[in-house]
Amino acid sequence: MPTQEQFQQALEEASQQFAQLIAQGNLDAPVASCPGWTLTELAQHMCGTQRWSTHALITGERGEHPQAPAQRNELLAYFNEGMRELLEASRSIDPQRPTWSFGPEPRIAQFWTRRQAHEVTIHLWDAYSSQGQEYEIPEDLAIDGLAEIVEVFFPMRMKRGNVGPLPQTLVLAPNDLTTTFELTTNTENNGPRITIHGPAADLLLLLWGRKSLTELQIEGDATLAKEFLAQGVTP
């Protein structure tokens, strides 16, 4: 896992790139990976998650998503203000301090720096895509993003009943790594396996619904994997 400082740097760098798209991009462009949203609405969402996370860091309690402005100049200023406040909170608060989060125990402040680094990274990919451009997710962030899904989102989706039983273990195998990541609803984890190979970033985008299984190499029951992933292992 990257360090707290590395997450902060990734959060700052990705946020700065996102701000450039707000400043210069086509705000009316649809975001295909976020159906129904334009770049404006994606940026407004990011403004909300910035403040939601900052509130949790500062107060230790769950906050709300305030409505961001829609006009370019006001939206950009609001986004930059939220980025500054989030980074200041992340850098000044003890990362081990207890706080509200939707992650597993222990629920501590460093959760939010990691979560927001991944949040802005995935949505930066969305934003670039809306402009007909590509964004390459850094490999270290992609690998940790897979770990976050296994540790946080998949168990949460299972607990809420969003994901049905998977009779086989789904294994994500990033290229050139000995580390793999497993999604299973079988607590004994001793049944058949479906392994998906590919670049870590592509595997991450697959689990976030941004890539198709047809773009990756699969060993095992591809139909079963497709049906399972269609349920959404992430929100």
Residue 201 in contact with residue 137, Cβ under 8 Å?
A: yes
Residue 188 clears pLDDT 80, i.e. is over it: no
- Assess contact for 99 and 56: CB atoms under 8 A: yes
DSSP assignment of 159-216, as one string? HTT-S---SSEEEEEETT-S--EEE-S-TT--S-EEEEEE-HHHHHHHHTTSS-GGGS
The larger pLDDT score, comparing residue 115 to residue 178, is at 115
Q: Which residues, 6 or more positions from 107, have their beta carbon under 8 angstroms from its beta carbon?
A: 98, 99, 100, 101
- Kindly report, residue by residue over 51-62, the tens digit of the pLDDT: 999 999 999 999
DSSP letter, residue 38 = B
Question: Which DSSP state fits 131?
Answer: T
The answer, yes or no, to whether residue 190 has pLDDT greater than 80, is no
Q: How confident is the model at residue 16 (pLDDT cuts 50, 70, 90)?
A: very high
Is 54 strand, coil or helix? helix
Note the pLDDT of residue 176: 80
Q: What is the mean pLDDT of the chain?
A: 95
What is the reported pLDDT for 110? 97
Domains detected in the chain? 4-130 (1.20.120.450), 162-230 (no CATH)
pLDDT over 70 for what percent of the chain?
Answer: 98
ω into 35 cis (within 30 of 0): no
Question: What's the rounded mean pLDDT across residues 89-114?
Answer: 97
Query: Which ranges of 29-107 would DSSP assign to H, the alpha helix?
Result: 39-59, 72-92
